[in-house]
Structures are given as C-alpha cells and as structure tokens.
Amino acid sequence: MRRPSAALPVNRAARVAGSARRPLSAFAPALFVLGLYLLIAVGVWLGLWGQGWAEIGSAMWEGPSQDHWLGTNRLGQDIWQRGLAATATAFEIGLPVAVLSTLIGGLLGASAGFFAHSWIDEAVLWLVGTLEAIPFYLFVAALAFALSGHPWAMHLAMIATFWTATARVTRAETQRIAKLGFIEAARAGGLRPRRIIRRHVMPHLTPLLLIQASFAFIAAVKAEVVLSFLGIGVDDSVSWGVMIAEASQEILAGFYLNFVTASALLFGLVMTVNRLADRFQDRFDPKAARLDACNHA
Amino acid sequence: MPEPVLDLRDVRVDYTGARGTSRAVDGVSLSLSSGDRLGLVGESGCGKSSLARAIMGLLPNPGAGLSGRSMRLDGQELIGLPERAFRQVRQKSLVLIPQHPSGALNPVQSVGRQMESIIRRRLGVSRRRARQEAADALAQLDLGDIGALLDRYPHQLSGGTSQRVLIALALACRPRLLICDEPTSALDPTTRAAALDRLTALCEHEGTALLLITHDFGIVAGHCERTAVMLQGRIVEEAPADALFHAPRHPYTKALLAAIPRLPLAATEG
C-alpha cells in the first residue's frame, strides 16, 4: 500500500500561501491616520473640542494666531474648530451610509444572486435599474424637498442610491459562488436555502462587502462635499463642503485657509480609507494569494 | 421480493434552452434493492450525470424538467415532490459523491468542522460523537494522521485526499442510497481499489444501495453486481456484470468493451 506522506508538502503549501499574504503591519500607517480622524470625531461628539465652530467673532479673514490657529473666515469664525467639527460631520454621514447601504445591497444582492432568474432576482434588478435611472443630485434635491429639509434626507438619498452598486457586485459574486461544488453539496445535504446563504455563501462575501463599505464611505463623504457646495447638503451644521462653498468667495479675495483646511482634511480621509481598502483587498483576495503560492512552489 | 430502495419507471429529463428543449434522459427504468450495487456506464454526455442529479433532486431550476411514470425512493414518489419535502428525503436517505471532489468542500471551514456538522445533521448525534464518527470513517481509508487532517482546510488537501474525505463522509452518513459520480477519478489505481473496497463493504454491511456512475469498466467489473449501459439518454443493456462482459448483446456495449485497451498478455481485466 502506498504510504500517505502528505504532511510535508501540505505544510509547505500552507506556509507559502501564508507568506503571500500581506503582513498585518502593512495596515498600520493607514490605520494610524484613520485612528487620528476617529479621535477628532469622537472628541467632537464628546464635546472635548470643536464646539465653538459657530461662534461669530469680530475679526474676519484673520491669519493664523494664538486664538485662531488657522485664522478666521468671513464671519470671523475659527477655521480650525470648523475643520474639527466638519470631521465629525463627515463620519456622521459616511458611517451610517456605508453600513446601511452595504447591508441592504449585500442582502438583496445575495438573494438575487442565489435565486438567479427567479422573481426575487427580477424584483431586485428592476429596483436597481429604476434607482440608477434617477440622476443622483436630482434625487437628493427631490428627497430633501419631500422631507422638507429633514436632517436625514441626504443620508436617505445616499443609502437609496449607493446600495445598488453593492447589490450588483454581490449578485454577480453570489452567482459565481452558488455554482461551486460545496454549495451543491450543501443542497445535496438537505440544507435550507437560508442556511446555505448564511453559512456557506456569506463568509465568502465578507471581504467583498467590507471593501464595498469602504468605497461607500468615501463616496458618501465626497458626495456630501458636492451637495453642500451646491447648497442642498448639510444645513445648520458645518462640513467640508460648507467650508469649500464659503471659500469660493474668499479665494478671489486672496484668502485660502478655509479652502486648504477643508480640502486637506478631505484628501487625508479619502486617501486613508482608499489605502485601507486596497490593503484589505490584497490580503483577503484568495485568488491573489493562491497565485502567489503557485509561483513560489 | 422486498420493496426496492430506488425504483425508476420511464424517467425523463429535459433541458430547456434558448433554442428549444433537449432530452438528456429518455425513459430510463431501473430498480435497486437494499444492498444492490449497480454500475452505470456510458460515454460523456449520455445522460448519466443528469440521471444522478434527477434522483438527487438537484436539477437546475428553472432550466430542467423531470417527468416520467414514477421515481420512488423507499416507496415515496419523488416526481413532483415539492422542494421542501425533497430536502427532507435528501437529508435522510441520499448521499451523492460528486465528480469534482475539491469543489465539494467549503474552503472557509476545516475538514473536521464540515464533516462534523454534516454528520450531526444526518445522524442527529452530539458534536463529540460526530467528530468521532468522522475520524472512524477516515481511519478506514488509509489517510495517515487523522487528527491533523481534520484540522486542515480543503485547499491544503490533494485531489486524492479530498476525494477520500468525501468517501469517508459518505460512509459516515449511512444513507439508504449512495450515488457516486466518478468517485475515484483523482485516485491512483491502488488507492482507488482500496477506497472502492471500503465503499462496497459498507454498502453490503449497512444494506445501502449503490449507484456507481463511471466510464471505467474496470471499476464496474470489480465492484458491481449489475451493469447498465447508457447511450443517448436510454439504457440499452442491463445485465449481471459477468454476463455483460462475457456475452454483450447490444452492439454499443460490444463497441464499448472493444474500446478497452488490453495488454497482449494475460487478461487481467478488472
């Protein structure tokens, strides 16, 4: 009889596959910066700093000073404080939109993909197509009007439009997964569809959904800036978009601090989340890892 | 005569595509009693796998239709059975060993975990007991260090090992009917013989009916009592394995047998 001596090569394959993954330290810089941003936001929520963003001072368009680190705007408001408060606003918009749109998109997309060409699939695709047919800014304006300026109108509009992209990719990925042998095996074993989706499909969608969520976060933060610039976004609060909108008049007068502060903060956050998503994709894409393992072996 | 485990009468499977329907299985009748071992042989595309999927209730839906006079499992009619009830039947009495072993294991769960959860569901035993059953079944298949194997993930297994894991899992589930679709394509001849020996021994011991789908006459000759030859969706000849090999009646069977490569010396067929 052939002695099975599979232990050695198997271990080596496992080690090679492991080394093909990026080490956790690759996440560190981006995580550190994201942590700083979160710290700013949490501090604002707890009332530690950035509370004086609305105070109207006497000195307008002042340069940086002891009292106003980054100077003041046209109304004499402190730009540094406004920048901090706007960071919190960005998270207030980005987080709920990212979480909810990914949940909705993931759930509907997975159902549509698993029950491909059934009525569920048709219904989800119809909904996706319909929502994507509405111009985004028109949709936000209409919702804001319909909800008569409700603070969540913008969130709602973003969630309602952002989930469709997630649903599309999730549907495609689920269709691919559903054709794999172990899904058929689960079916052959007599598992209920709901259980198959939860136990055997969802774990394979997690990396994809996390990446989708970070993209939705970025998209929400950026969309807020544009919407606020257009005057249909953040109301009664401060955001990077509001600051950039103010700056449109200041730049002509040769005053850049408002614009630079908001843009730099926005750039830093978007860049960081993007980096995280990329690192994450590298680490959790099993195909990339396997390809690497083959090359090493 | 006792009631057969599996009784097919005039079973048909149709696939509906963009350019009309095509009939993959065209009026197949088969009967398998407890402990029977039937080899189903035929060329690629003759409908063997479609028949297996029809019995398992795994035909694509929509896209394929199952019809015919009757398809009974332990007396229960399966044609027209709603999916919910079919799930119960599958879970209780049927096991399929698929053609491509590596894909049948979930990549994110360790071998032990998936074997455990399946055995628990099938036999309704505790987690500990299920793990023991899994280890026992694996031990019959000459797989070396079983403790380590249970903790491995499917991508760390060779094709032959995953195939034997599936066979072990099938053994542990003690089904009424076991359908094997090319169960040993990834095994070398000696391992294959050992695995099939275990499989047939179990079927004899537990009274499991075995439907072995293959295009390897050697496997059929060695491990099945009866052989059915399938051609273009029909069973063209069914006979005890010996009779079929020594006195094939249908011209297609003769052609198939003639296509087996032979050594010029001893006739060590099977």
pTM of this prediction?
0.73
Optimal mutation site among A115, A180, A184, A287, interface B, most CBs of chain B within 10 A: A184
Contact B227, B257 (CB under 8 A): no
Query: Cα separation of B217 and B160, whole Å?
Result: 20
Q: Do B56 and A188 touch (CB under 8 A)?
A: yes
> Which amino acid is it at B102?
S
Nearest to B4 by CA among B88, B72, B69: B72
Closest chain A residue to B118 measured between Cα atoms?
A189
A-chain CB neighbours of B192 within 8 Å are none
Select the highest-mean-pLDDT range: A43-52, A93-102, A145-154: A93-102
The pLDDT of residue A120 is above 90: yes
Q: Do B144 and A17 touch (CB under 8 A)?
A: no
CA distance B104 to chain A (A): 4
The rounded mean pLDDT for chain A is 82
Select the highest-mean-pLDDT range: A70-79, A171-180, A240-249, B37-46: A171-180
Residues 6+ apart with CB under 8 A from B55: B6, B8, B71, B73, B78, B94, B177, B179, B211
Contact A73, A246 (CB under 8 A): yes
Nearest to A193 by CA among A251, A257, A112, A258: A112
CA distance A204 to chain B (A): 8
More confident residue, B148 or A14: B148
Query: Cα separation of B120 and A210, whole Å?
Result: 32
Confidence at residue B145, expressed as pLDDT on a 0 to 100 scale? 87
Q: Do B91 and A190 touch (CB under 8 A)?
A: yes
A-chain CB neighbours of B87 within 8 Å are 190-192
Residue B3 confidence class, pLDDT cut points 50, 70, 90:
confident
Confidence at residue A38, expressed as pLDDT on a 0 to 100 scale? 92
The pLDDT of residue B113 is above 70: yes
The rounded mean pLDDT for chain B is 85
For residue range B146-176, what is the model confidence (pLDDT) as tens digits?
Answer: 888 999 888 888 888 888 888 888 888 888 8
CA distance B223 to chain A (A): 19
CA distance A23 to chain B (A): 20
Confidence at residue A212, expressed as pLDDT on a 0 to 100 scale? 93
Kindly state the average pLDDT of the residues A115-123. Answer: 91
Residues 6+ apart with CB under 8 A from A273: A30, A34, A214, A217, A218
Confidence at residue A296, expressed as pLDDT on a 0 to 100 scale? 41
Nearest to A4 among B58, B104, B144 (CB): B144
A-chain CB neighbours of B55 within 8 Å are none
Confidence at residue B202, expressed as pLDDT on a 0 to 100 scale? 80
Query: Cα separation of B7 and B63, whole Å?
Result: 25
Confidence at residue A164, expressed as pLDDT on a 0 to 100 scale? 95
Confidence at residue A21, expressed as pLDDT on a 0 to 100 scale? 56
- Report the phi/psi class of residue B44: left, alpha or beta, with left for phi > 0 and alpha for psi in -120 to 50: beta
Say if the ipTM goes beyond 0.85: no
For residue range A156-206, what is the model confidence (pLDDT) as tens digits?
Answer: 989 999 999 999 999 999 999 988 888 888 888 778 888 899 888 988 898
> Would strands B209-214 and B64-73 be described as parallel, antiparallel, or unpaired?
unpaired
Nearest to B148 by CA among A8, A297, A200: A8
Kindly state the average pLDDT of the residues A210-228. Answer: 91
For residue range B222-241, what is the model confidence (pLDDT) as tens digits?
Answer: 888 888 988 888 888 888 88
- State the DSSP string of chain B: -PPPSEEEEEEEEEEEETTEEEEEEEEEEEEE-TT-EEEEEE-TTSSHHHHHHHHHT-S-TTTEEEEEEEEEETTEE-TT--HHHHHHHHHHHEEEE-S-TGGGS-TTS-HHHHHHHHHHHHH---HHHHHHHHHHHHHTT--S-HHHHHTS-GGGS-HHHHHHHHHHHHHHH--SEEEEESTTTTS-HHHHHHHHHHHHHHHHHHT-EEEEEES-HHHHHHH-SEEEEEETTEEEEEEEHHHHHHS--SHHHHHHHHTS---SS-----
Interface size between A and B, measured as CB pairs under 8 A: 79
The pLDDT of residue A288 is above 80: no
Q: Which residues pair with B15 in a beta bridge?
A: B22, B64
Closest chain B residue to A196 measured between Cα atoms?
B106
CA distance B150 to chain A (A): 12
Q: 3-state SS of chain A?
A: CCCCCCHHHHHHHHHHHHHHCCCHHHHHHHHHHHHHHHHHHHHHHCCCCCHHHHCCCCCCCCCCCCCCCCCECCCCCEHHHHHHHHHHHHHHHHHHHHHHHHHHHHHHHHHHHHCCCCHHHHHHHHHHHHHHHCCHHHHHHHHHHHCCCCCCHHHHHHHHHHHHHHHHHHHHHHHHHHCCHHHHHHHHCCCCHHHHHHHHHHHHHHHHHHHHHHHHHHHHHHHHHHHHHHCCCCCCCCCHHHHHHHHHHHHHHCCCHHHHHHHHHHHHHHHHHHHHHHHHHHHHCHHHHHHHHHHHC
Select the highest-mean-pLDDT range: A58-72, A86-100, A135-149: A86-100
For residue range B244-258, what is the model confidence (pLDDT) as tens digits?
Answer: 888 888 888 888 888
Query: Cα separation of A47 and A189, whole Å?
Result: 55
